Homo-oligomer: A and B are copies of this chain.
Amino acid sequence: MYPYRHLFDFTREIFLNIGCPLDDAQLATQVLLEADLRGIDSHGVARLSGYVRLWEAGRINAKPSISIVHETPSTATVDGDGGLGLVVAPRAMEIAIKKAENVGTGWVSVRNSNHFGIAGYHAMQALQHDMIGMAMTNASPLVAPTHSTQRMLGTNPIAVAVPANEQPPFVADFATASAANGKLEILQRKHEKAPLGWIQTAQGEDTDNADELKQGGSLLPLGSDLTHGSHKGYALGAIVDIFSAVLSGANYGPWVPPFVSFLAPPADPVGRGIGHFLGAMRIDAFRPADEFKQHMDNWITSFRKADVKRGEEAVLIPGDPERIMTAIRLQKGIPLLSPVEKDLAEVGRKFGVKF
């Protein structure tokens, strides 16, 4: 178990060593480690070495000059200048929040960025302002549309955060695939089988082989098959791709550059970097915030009290599992798998930083 503070100091030191300004290193660390706190281990410190390798490959700019390239009172298009998504996205979200303060809502489409950690972090930035926050991003293609065998979309997550009064906020944060790639990676490490309905082979057959993506297989959209609504998951992933990248001028669909540095980006890009879409809506642009938050409390408590299926403990509100995990990990520390420990020690050695 690693204390949060320990991982924080180490990670910040690494970001400083690749040349991030102090503020950026601090911010990137906070965003990255929020994943570990919330129990989304695939998106946290386990990815630190991946960001470093992208930087080594010249595909991340540690000192980006993030700029608004186009705007209206309620919108902006932001160019991330090839920076860490962990830095670009929260800065873009600040712009969305500022616009919402001025005209009720703010919507920012971002190009020329990189992976931004967990979508939930960025959506949650809105909460302290009594706003609803939204965040989405496209990602390297792993998901095949309904009827297709080709990886055309990333797992393109959507996050929505809604403030409540006495209840904790509603925080939904989910991939638009049937299962996030992180879940698959865990099965791969443990050499376990995947549930049917997550993955198809290169020929489009349902498979329980968690390693199938290495043989040309693909992830299935939320819904798994047409009968169970995979065209809806496909549409959701497509909407995220269009809002994040076609609106901003980033790469979309099969052109999204891969996160792993050993795979080269497509030679014929249709835009710059990867794209995000961030939104903030002021509650009191619709009704008084106190009134809304009291109704959110009522919404949340009525869903918590809904009849529970036999064998289950409780009906959960989106965000409950992550909030409970955060409390545990802040107290007891964050567990790391031994390959991740080794990987971090290796990254530390590169820069003479002790892990």
Binding site for B on A (CB under 8 A): 70-75, 77, 103-105, 107, 109, 132, 144-150, 152, 160, 162, 170, 172, 174-176, 178-179, 195, 197-198, 203-204, 222-224, 227-229, 231-236, 238-239, 241-243, 246-249, 252-254, 270-271, 281-283, 285-287, 291-292, 295-296, 298-299, 302-303, 306-310, 312-316, 318
The answer for the CA separation of A228 and B105 in the assembled complex, in Å, is 33
B179 in contact with A75 (CB, 8 Å): no
A103 in contact with B77 (CB, 8 Å): no
Q: Which of chain B's residues have a CB closer than 8 A to the CB of A232?
A: 172, 174-176, 222
Q: Which of A146, A254, A285 has the most CB of B within 10 A?
A: A285
- Residue on B nearest A76 in the bound complex, by CB: B286
Q: Given contact pairs A144-B306, A149-B308, A197-B227, enumerate 8 new A-B contacts (beta carbons under 8 Å).
A: A73-B74, A74-B104, A74-B105, A75-B104, A105-B105, A149-B309, A178-B223, A222-B233
A293 to chain B, nearest CB (A): 9
The answer for the CA separation of A174 and B236 in the assembled complex, in Å, is 10
Q: Which of chain B's residues have a CB closer than 8 A to the CB of A77?
A: 286-287
Of B109, B238, B315, which one neighbours A145 at CB under 8 angstroms? B315
Q: Which of chain B's residues have a CB closer than 8 A to the CB of A235?
A: 160, 172, 174, 318
A296 in contact with B246 (CB, 8 Å): yes
A198 to chain B, nearest CB (A): 8
A72 in contact with B227 (CB, 8 Å): no
A238 in contact with B170 (CB, 8 Å): yes
B222 in contact with A252 (CB, 8 Å): no
B287 in contact with A70 (CB, 8 Å): yes
- Residue on B nearest A147 in the bound complex, by CB: B312
Q: Which of chain B's residues have a CB closer than 8 A to the CB of A178?
A: 223, 228-229
A54 to chain B, nearest CB (A): 25
The answer for the CA separation of A147 and B291 in the assembled complex, in Å, is 29
- Residue on B nearest A305 in the bound complex, by CB: B150
Q: Which of chain B's residues have a CB closer than 8 A to the CB of A172?
A: 232, 235-236, 238-239
16 A-B residue pairs with CB within 8 Å: A72-B105, A73-B104, A75-B281, A77-B287, A145-B316, A160-B239, A174-B229, A197-B227, A197-B228, A204-B310, A223-B228, A246-B292, A246-B299, A248-B286, A248-B287, A253-B303
Q: Which of chain B's residues have a CB closer than 8 A to the CB of A107?
A: 104-105, 281, 285
Known contacts A104-B75, A148-B309; A179 and B315 CB within 8 A of each other: no
Q: Which of chain B's residues have a CB closer than 8 A to the CB of A222?
A: 222-223, 228-229, 232-233
The answer for the CA separation of A73 and B104 in the assembled complex, in Å, is 7
Known contacts A72-B104, A303-B145; A195 and B228 CB within 8 A of each other: yes
A74 in contact with B299 (CB, 8 Å): no
A178 to chain B, nearest CB (A): 5
- Residue on B nearest A224 in the bound complex, by CB: B228
Q: Which of chain B's residues have a CB closer than 8 A to the CB of A149?
A: 307-309
- Residue on B nearest A105 in the bound complex, by CB: B74
Q: Which of A71, A160, A309 has the most CB of B within 10 A?
A: A309
A318 in contact with B75 (CB, 8 Å): no
Known contacts A228-B178, A233-B222; A295 and B315 CB within 8 A of each other: no
- Residue on B nearest A108 in the bound complex, by CB: B286
